[in-house]
Homo-oligomer: A and B are copies of this chain.
Amino acid sequence: MPYTPVWLMRQAGRYLPEYRAMRERFGFLELCRNPEAAAEVTLQPVDRLGVDAAILFADILLIVEPLDVGLEFARGEGPLIRRPLRDEAQIRRLAPIDVDAAVRFVFETARRVKRALAGRAPLIGFAGAPFTVASYLVEGGPSRDYLHVKRLMYEEPEAWHHLMEILATATARYLNGQIAAGADAVQIFDSWVGVLAADDYRTFVQPHTHALIRALTPGAPVIHFGTGTAALLPLMRAAGGDVIALDWRVDLDTAWASLGHDVAVQGNLDPAVLLAKPPYIRQRVKDILDRAANRPGHIFNLGHGVLPGTPVEHVRALVDIVHDLSDRRVR
Contacts and interface: CB of A to CB of B under 8 A. Distances in A.
Contacts of A73: none
A303 B231 CA distance: 14
A243 B139 CA distance: 35
Contacts of A251: 198-199, 231
Given A145-B272, A228-B228, A198 B249 contact: yes
Contact of A275 (B151, B231, B232, B277): B151
A67 interface: no
A26 interface: no
A145 B249 contact: no
Contact of A248 (B197, B250, B255): B197
Contacts of A284: 199
A325 interface: no
Interface string A114-155: 000000000000000000000000000000011100110011
Given A154-B280, A231-B230, A273-B154, A197 B249 contact: yes
Contact of A154 (B145, B151, B276): B276
A270 interface: yes
A273 B199 CA distance: 12
Residue of A150, A249, A255 with most chain B CB atoms under a 10 A cut-off:
A249
A250 B231 contact: yes
A230 to B, nearest CB: 3
A97 interface: no
Residue of A194, A196, A198, A303 with most chain B CB atoms under a 10 A cut-off:
A198
Contacts of A196: 249
A147 B198 contact: no
Contacts of A303: 197
A134 to B, nearest CB: 15
- How many monomers of this protein are in the complex? 2
Contacts of A147: 272, 275, 307, 309
Nearest to A270: B197
Residue of A147, A231, A255, A307 with most chain B CB atoms under a 10 A cut-off:
A231
A200 interface: yes
Interface in A186-210: 194-200
A287 interface: yes
A230 B200 CA distance: 16
A277 B157 CA distance: 13
Interface string A263-294: 00000001111011100100010010000000
Given A145-B272, A146-B272, A155 B277 contact: yes
A312 to B, nearest CB: 17
A309 B248 CA distance: 32
6 contacts: A145-B271, A147-B307, A147-B309, A154-B276, A197-B249, A197-B270
